[in-house]
Amino acid sequence: MRRIKTKPKPEIIEDVHHPLERYFRKERLPHIWCSGCGLGTAMACLAYALEELSLGLDDVSIVSGIGCTGRLAGYMRSDSYHTTHGRAIPFATGLRIALEMQKPDHKVIVFSGDGDLFAIGGNHFIHAARRNVDLAVFCVNNFNYGMTGGQVGPTTPLGAYGTTAPYGSFENPFNLVYLAASSGAPYVARWTTLHSRRLKQAMMEAIMKPGFTFVEIISPCPVNYGRRNKMPTGLVEMRYYQRKSVIRNFADPKEAEIKPEGEIIVGTFVDEDKPNYFDIYRHFVEQMIGEG
């Protein structure tokens, strides 16, 4: 008879505090993510970024869509919104615009996965980048649909395996940084969860920069993606990203396509100043009021 392994319950040690614990809903931990997943690292980077920016829990809202990354909002102890599949960005757009009328310094961060933001939510992404509303969008890209069991998605590299691509993916993936840059985002970066210090720095820059900012976070998903693509553990998948990633700041995003066996270019791709949605709105409204 096969033995069923149960996950050991973590021991809670009273009176020992993690320096970041105020950022999390401790009562909801442990989280649901698999061992070897990069989401814990990504969430920790966000908490470190908020701490370093001295942003309090009432200064930020986190909005997620659906999927593994979608659960992140539920662990952060700020106002947090777990919305519908693909609609995190339009929800966040409404939220941010409403806050502009009352608390204009409030930061809205969208944290969601590659399937959520670029398949079902792809249209919202490009329009939000074009519109340039003040949102920081962090996409955890693990190259597949993890929550539903490892189906291929819009970022799966050509030929990679998934439960809906048993012979390898037949489709060309999106190059997310190129898509973001060409849609008009004034800040675009890509890091892996291995680059945690640089990832935190990129999150800080993205949060503070006015307008629509985008950070792609390449993350291991050993249970659903790695396992089917010769990277059976988180460690093996992280080693792969370590071996393949090359830091090249301000590289042409068009050249940053992720190909099977090719290198993964990481770094800041775009960091430019341009008027955001609110700047333009104020300009036109002031002009209109001036004209009476």
Partner 1 sequence: MILAGEHFLNGDVACAEGAIAAGCRFFAGYPITPQSEIAERMAYRLPRIGAHFLQMEDELASMAAVLGAVWGGVKAMTATSGPGFSLMMENIGLGIMTETPCVVVNVQRGGPSTGLPTATSQGDMMQARWGTHGNHEIIAYAPSSPQEMFDLTVKAFNTAERYRLPVLIMADEIVGHMMERVLIDPDKIEVFARRKPTVPYEEYVPYKPGKDLVPEMACAGEGYRVHVTGLTHNELGYPDMTVEAQHRLINRLTQKIRKNIDQIVEFEEEGIDEAEVILVTYGINARASWRAMELAREKGIKVGMLRLITVWPFPSEPIAKLATQVKGFVVPEINLGQMVLEVERAAAGRTVVRLVPHAGGGIHRPEDVLAVIEEVVG
List contacts with partner 1 (CB under 8 A): 25, 28, 57-59, 61, 63, 73-74, 77-84, 86-87, 89-103, 106, 123-124, 127, 281, 284-285, 288-289
Which residue, among 162, 144, 186, 180, has the nearest Cα to 256 in the 3D structure? 180
CA distance 220 to 257: 18
Task: State CA 68 to chain mean position distance.
Answer: 11
Taking the complex as a whole, how short is the minimal distance between the CB of residue 101 and partner 1, in angstroms? 6
Instruction: Give the nearer residue to partner 1 in terms of CB position, either 131 or 239.
Output: 131
- Beta carbon nearer to partner 1, 123 or 249: 123
Q: Which is nearer to partner 1, 25 or 244 (CB)?
A: 25
Q: How far is the CB of 288 from partner 1 (least distance, A)?
A: 7
**Long-range contacts of the stretch 168-174 (C-beta < 8 A, 24+):** 173/257, 173/258, 174/118, 174/122
Query: Rounded CA gap, 268 and 116, in Å?
Result: 23
If the CB atoms of residues 73 and 160 are measured against partner 1, the closer one turns out to be 73
Question: In the complex with partner 1, which residue's Cβ is closer, 55 or 194?
Answer: 55
Spatial CB neighbours of 215, under 8 Å, sequence gap ≥ 6: 136, 137, 138, 139, 188, 189, 190, 191, 199, 202, 203, 206
In terms of CB distance, is 94 or 260 closer to partner 1?
A: 94
Long-range interactions of 224-229: CB distance < 8 A, separation 24+: 224/142, 224/144, 224/145, 224/146, 224/149, 224/150, 224/162, 225/142, 225/143, 225/144, 225/146, 225/150, 225/160, 225/162, 226/36, 227/150, 228/150, 228/160, 228/161, 228/162, 228/163, 229/160, 229/161
| CA pseudo-torsion sign 47, 118, 211, 84 | negative
Token pair listed for 231 = 């990277």
Q: How far is the CB of 205 from partner 1 (least distance, A)?
A: 22
- What is the smallest separation between the CB atom of 280 and partner 1, expressed in angstroms? 12
Nearer to partner 1, 28 or 254 (CB): 28
